[in-house]
């Protein structure tokens, strides 16, 4: 198992800043988000005797674009699918591409649309809201009224198609995806989205890689073992500490999890050496 960032703490004889008892020398291995977060927390807490060692030529670790994944979010003011539809899976026929250039094929990289409804209101038919529901033309089921006041459709795409999408205007992206939705839903009356939001990671120089997962047979207890600091033989204090996304009990695999583990380990040091 790979641990993204670790710390080596060496006891120092010199006194550090006022708030510190014997500021230790600290080596942070890895300048991914967890290592940088730890450094930030240490600096803010008055520590200055630390270095970050990074094997690659740049900071940011896996936050870096090599293979590109983008997301496009279409905002609709009204629901355009049935209320019980939460995902649309797409199967593209690669033999029947009418015009074989990215302008007409970029959206074929999208394999699914995730649907999120906002302001969902579920009312039992005994409820006094019946009239309101009828006036608003809501979907009426025998037992429930389900009201969707607006919805978001999220599409993921990768590779050169994603990079091409980034070169289009948001309006064009919206128009192209509405055409796709019309085809797969077999509807002609889908309005243009009120807003299109999309990532443009391919145009951002600071974002890369893979992330940890819990293998079949493993448990969160294994993460606890990974995150356990090592206490040196000549000290009762931990001397090697482990951060990185794979050491967060619930938010492993994520940037925010990595960030929090950096803060966690830095705080451990601060607590050990502050008055
Ligand atoms: C394709 C992809 C999509 C993702 N999407 C999301 C997302 O949508 N949302 C989300 O929250 N997270 C996402 N993640 C996860 C997120 O990017 C990572 O969890 C996070 O960046 C990990 O940070 P880290 O500090 O733990 O490790 P890293 O970023 O891996 O940092 C470790 C650093 O240590 C350095 N290093 C390694 N060994 C040594 C050594 N011996 N000496 C010195 N330096 C060394 C490495 O070069 C690297 O810079 C995604 C990841 C990938 C790969």
Domains of the chain listed by start with CATH number: 5-62+207-273 (3.50.50.60), 69-203 (no CATH)
Residues 211 and 63: beta-carbon distance below 8 Å? no
Write out pLDDT tens, residues 27-65: 999 999 999 999 999 999 999 999 999 998 888 887 765
Give the confidence band of 3 by pLDDT, cuts at 50, 70, 90: low
Distance from residue 32's CA to the centre of ligand 1 (Å) = 6
CA of 2 to the centre of ligand 1 (A): 10
Summarised one tens digit per residue, pLDDT across range 201-234 is 888 765 554 567 787 888 889 999 999 999 988 7
Residue 81 scores a pLDDT above 60: yes
pLDDT above 70: residue 181: yes
pLDDT of 223 = 93
Ligand 1: residue whose CA is nearest its atom 15: 254
Which atom of ligand 1 lies nearest, measured to the CA of 261?
26
Residue 18 has pLDDT above 50, yes or no: no
Q: Is the CB of 81 under 6 A from ligand 1?
A: no
Phi, psi of 62 (to 5 degrees): -75, -5
Query: Nearest-CA neighbor of 140 among 114, 117, 122, 118?
Result: 122
Task: Indicate which residue's Cα is closest to atom 12 of ligand 1.
Answer: 254
Model pLDDT for residues 103-155, shown as the tens digit of each residue: 999 999 998 999 987 755 444 333 333 333 333 444 444 444 455 567 899 99
- Ligand 1: does its nearest atom lie under 6 Å from the Cβ of 63? yes
The Cα–Cα gap between 202 and 72 comes to 13
Pocket of ligand 1 contains residue 4 by CB under 6 Å: yes
Paired strand residues for 20: 274
């Amino acid at each position: 198992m790979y641990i993204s960032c670790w710390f080596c703490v060496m006891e120092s004889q010199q006194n550090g800043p006022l708030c510190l008892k014997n500021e230790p020398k600290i080596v942070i291995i890895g300048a991914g988000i967890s290592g940088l977060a730890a450094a930030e927390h240490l600096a803010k807490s008055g520590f200055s005797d630390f270095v970050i060692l990074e094997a690659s030529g740049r900071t940011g670790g896996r936050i870096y674009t090599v293979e590109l994944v983008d997301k496009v979010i279409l905002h609709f003011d009204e629901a355009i699918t049935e209320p019980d539809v939460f995902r649309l899976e797409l199967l593209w026929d690669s033999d029947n591409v009418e015009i074989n250039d990215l302008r007409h094929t970029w959206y074929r990289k999208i394999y699914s649309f995730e649907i999120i409804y906002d302001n969902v209101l579920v009312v039992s038919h005994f409820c006094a809201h019946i009239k309101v529901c009828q006036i608003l033309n809501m979907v009426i089921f025998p037992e429930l009224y389900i009201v969707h006041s607006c919805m978001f459709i999220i599409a993921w795409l990768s590779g050169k198609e994603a990079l091409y999408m980034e070169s289009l205007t948001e309006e064009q992206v919206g128009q192209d995806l509405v055409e796709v939705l019309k085809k797969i839903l077999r509807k002609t009356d889908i309005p243009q989205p009120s807003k299109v939001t999309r990532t443009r990671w391919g145009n951002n120089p600071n974002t890369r890689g893979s992330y940890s997962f819990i293998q079949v047979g493993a448990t969160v207890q294994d993460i606890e073992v990974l995150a356990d600091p090592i206490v040196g033989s000549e000290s009762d204090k931990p001397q090697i500490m482990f951060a990185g996304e794979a050491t967060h009990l619930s938010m492993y695999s994520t940037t925010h999890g990595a960030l929090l583990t950096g803060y966690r380990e830095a705080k451990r040091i601060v607590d050990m050496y502050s008055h």
